[in-house]
Amino acid sequence: MSTGLVPDPVARQPWTVILPLLALVTFGATVLYSAAGGSLRPWALTHFLRFIVFLAMAIVISRVRKETFKQLAYPIYGLTVLLLVLVELIGGIGGGSQRWLNLGFMTLQPSELMKPVIVLVLARFYDDLPPSMTASWRALVPAAALLVLPAGLVMIQPDLGTGLAISFGAVVVVFLAGVPLWWFIAAGTAALVAAPVAFFTLLHDYQRQRVFVFLDPAADPLGTGYHILQSTIAIGSGGLMGKGFGNGSQSHLDYLPEAHTDFVFATMAEEWGMLGGLFVIGTFAWVLGWGWRVALSAPDRFAQLLAGGMVFTMFFYVCINLMMVMGLAPVVGIPLPFMSHGGSSMMTNMICVGTIMAVANWSRSGARTLA
């Protein structure tokens, strides 16, 4: 069956989000091409091909039935926790952290998988919870246990940024589930009281140093403050129109660290200026707005929590990375979705997109049933 000249399976795809994502990934590949000195390798071509592969994965996820999502929630959560345990036992070490599993055909970062998985399992938990129990301890203690185990395993790798991302997604689902607001106020107050103690006792030296650098990056411009200073210099030097494609001195002369991953936005802004930055931010706003509209129109509690949690998981990536490269947040090693080079990050965000697409399909199926 077809719609005019376009086959029906193609016409049914959510092109209103696929095309903006394609534009964002293509722009990202262009920036990576420039960062590599005008070469498709090692980053640009791999980046684009990964998107095509994970887009196919997202489309497959979008066809999965809601009942299947529910049935797989706890088994997938258990498997991902097991992978995190294996990271502690046999994981590869890079950059001072033990985060990766070598599967032969790819290197997997299980902590990235836990970001959408924690949303899925908590959506299932609150869907099963009777509404009358939402204000009782039964709505919080089991959810906290589901979060503390994987977040704790990630924190000891150590990977503070990913641990915070997992916690953020979980807290959003708990909030959307309707847990009493005063619980969050009490938890926030307790966190503020405990923060000084945790800062000096639980954080590693390099993590504490990142906070000090955030507060005063000029204190050590050639050492720990180097990343933030070079990033802000690159962004500021781009001006309105940028220096032009391939003319980014900060990245091409290797002044800007991690120009193809964590600081790819700074690489882009130097060459494409504020206009390039507005395009990136506007495209993210479009994609996240699409996701939130899907969550608002979701047919039931499980679908609403699932889509809403996935939207805010992607939002955390975008918000923290942009704040980080602009010097508005400490450097925590979170890549920019669809722009930074990195397979695990791309996979995680496309799982989120595919899940939101699935919720959109459930909504359409429900509407057809009612009609």
Predicted pLDDT of residue 222: 67
Over 225-245, what HEC string results? CHHHHHHHHHHHHHCCCCCCC
What CA–CA distances, in Å, run from 310 to 153, 166, 314? 21, 11, 6
148 touches 141 (CB < 8 A): no
Predicted pLDDT of residue 316: 93
Predicted pLDDT of residue 369: 47
Residue 82 burial class via C-beta count within 10 angstroms: exposed 0-12, middle 13-18, buried 19 and up? exposed
Predicted pLDDT of residue 289: 96
| pLDDT tens digit sequence for 152-208 | 998 887 788 888 899 999 999 999 998 888 888 888 888 888 777 776 676 667 667
Distance, in Å, from the CA atom of 277 to the CA atom of 290, rounded to the nearest integer, reads 20
Q: Which two tokens stand for residue 308?
A: 């809403």
Strands 2-3 and 6-7: antiparallel
Q: How many CB atoms lie within 10 A of CB 64?
A: 16
Predicted pLDDT of residue 370: 42
Helix, strand or coil for residue 189? helix
Start-to-end CA distance of the chain, whole Å, equals 21
Helix, strand or coil for residue 262? coil
What does the angle CA 110 – CA 87 – CA 155 come to, to the nearest 5 degrees?
75
Taken in order 84, 103, 331, 320, the sign of the CA dihedral is: negative
Helix, strand or coil for residue 135? coil
Task: Please tell me the pTM assigned to this model.
Answer: 0.89
pLDDT tens for the chain, 371 residues: list them.
445 566 777 777 888 999 999 999 999 999 999 988 878 888 899 999 999 999 999 999 999 999 999 999 999 999 999 999 988 887 666 655 667 777 665 677 888 899 999 999 999 999 999 888 888 888 889 999 999 999 999 888 778 888 889 999 999 999 999 888 888 888 888 888 877 777 667 666 766 777 777 776 766 666 667 778 888 888 888 888 888 887 777 777 667 777 788 889 999 999 999 999 999 999 999 999 999 999 999 989 999 999 999 999 999 999 999 998 888 888 877 899 999 988 888 999 999 999 999 999 998 876 554 44
